[in-house]
């Protein structure tokens, strides 16, 4: 199986224009060359990518699948160019940060915004990961700064307090649990839950703790933000577990404390060694540490 970027660009151009001639012009090929490339690509893959008809070409199911992956490749290439652009301008100021769901949704937008406005020459690469994966990545030197929950083994990393928070249950005001002030996580495993999307750090955290208790969460619906969790819970879809800092001012919503010892989710900054950070990473680390200390 052989194909290259010009092949993928040709497939995208054909899908967008619906005609081989217009697609060939768009990717700067002669129509005969474009036709030959498409034929060779289909032969290499062993499937027809387009249906030919009098009005032009339309993608087959296989073609739609290839097109979806091709667009992801183009997006990743554009991101690579964006990441490399500062270096081409003589700036070596990229800082990599891994953070858990809580930090990314509740604290880092404002704190990073303040920092980046003061340092327009600095670029930050921010990625969401579970806390154990963040600690491993920082220890391995893959990431400059980690923002993690204050639990577990930090393996000799330098750790500084960042923000204080706590996981709580949220329920609709007319839900039976709304009469509770505190409850153990084990006592709500039979409830229908509103959760963040699979793959988010807090979703992984909840699933793992349910499994340790010998249960499995009944995830009724998954959404993309804590604000959406709050609104769904208020509407009676299910109950949710979110950081207290993310509980929005939504009517018909009640907060219930979680009795488990892991409920406090104070956040920590972790680095291999602050003194060994580059100037940009050290400036960001100190800024985040200062923001946390000011609260």
- If you write DSSP's letter for every residue of 179-245 in order, what string do you get? G-SEE-GGGGTTSEEEEEPTTSHHHHHHHHHHHHTT---EEEEEESSHHHHHHHHHTTS-BEEEEGG
Instruction: Answer whether residue 243 shows pLDDT above 80.
Output: yes
Structure tokens at 225: 């933000």
pLDDT beyond 70 at 101: yes
The per-residue pLDDT for 295 is 56
pLDDT at 2 over 80: no
45: pLDDT strictly greater than 60: yes
Residues 144-196: pLDDT tens digits?
999 998 877 788 899 999 999 999 999 999 999 999 999 999 999 999 999 99
**pLDDT (mean) for 283-292:** 92
pLDDT at 79 over 90: no
Please give the pLDDT value at position 126: 96
Q: Which pLDDT score is estimated for 198?
A: 86
* Residue 293 confidence (pLDDT): 64
28: left (phi over 0), alpha (psi -120 to 50) or beta: left
Mean pLDDT, the chain, rounded, equals 91
Hey, what domains does the chain have and what are their CATH numbers?
5-88 (1.10.10.10), 94-164+266-294 (3.40.190.10), 167-258 (3.40.190.10)
């Amino acid at each position: 199986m052989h194909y290259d970027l010009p092949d993928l660009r040709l497939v995208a151009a054909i899908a967008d224009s619906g005609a081989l001639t217009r697609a060939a012009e768009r990717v700067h090929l002669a129509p005969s060359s474009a036709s030959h490339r498409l034929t060779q690509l289909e032969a290499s893959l062993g499937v027809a990518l387009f249906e030919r008809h009098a009005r032009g070409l339309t993608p087959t199911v296989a073609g739609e699948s290839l097109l979806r992956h091709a667009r992801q490749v183009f997006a990743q290439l554009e991101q690579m160019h964006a990441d490399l652009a500062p270096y081409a301008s003589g700036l070596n100021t990229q800082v990599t940060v891994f953070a858990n769901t809580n930090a990314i949704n509740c604290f880092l937008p404002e704190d990073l915004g303040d920092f980046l406005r003061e340092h327009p020459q600095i670029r930050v690469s921010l990625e969401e990961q579970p806390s154990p994966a963040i600690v491993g990545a920082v220890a391995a030197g893959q990431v400059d700064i980690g923002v993690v929950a204050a639990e577990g083994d930090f393996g000799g990393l330098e750790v500084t307090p960042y923000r204080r928070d706590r996981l709580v249950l949220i329920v609709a005001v007319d839900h039976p649990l709304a009469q509770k002030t505190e409850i153990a996580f084990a006592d709500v495993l039979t409830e229908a839950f509103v959760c963040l999307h699979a793959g988010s750090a807090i979703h992984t955290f909840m699933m793992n703790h349910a499994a340790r208790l010998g249960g499995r969460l009944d995830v009724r619906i998954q959404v993309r933000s804590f604000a959406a969790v709050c609104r769904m819970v208020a509407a009676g879809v299910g109950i949710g577990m979110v950081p207290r800092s993310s509980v929005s001012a939504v009517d018909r919503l009640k907060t219930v404390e979680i009795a488990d010892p892991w409920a406090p989710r104070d956040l920590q900054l972790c680095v291999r060694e602050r003194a060994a950070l580059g100037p940009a990473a050290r400036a960001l680390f100190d800024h985040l540490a200062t923001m946390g200390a000011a609260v």
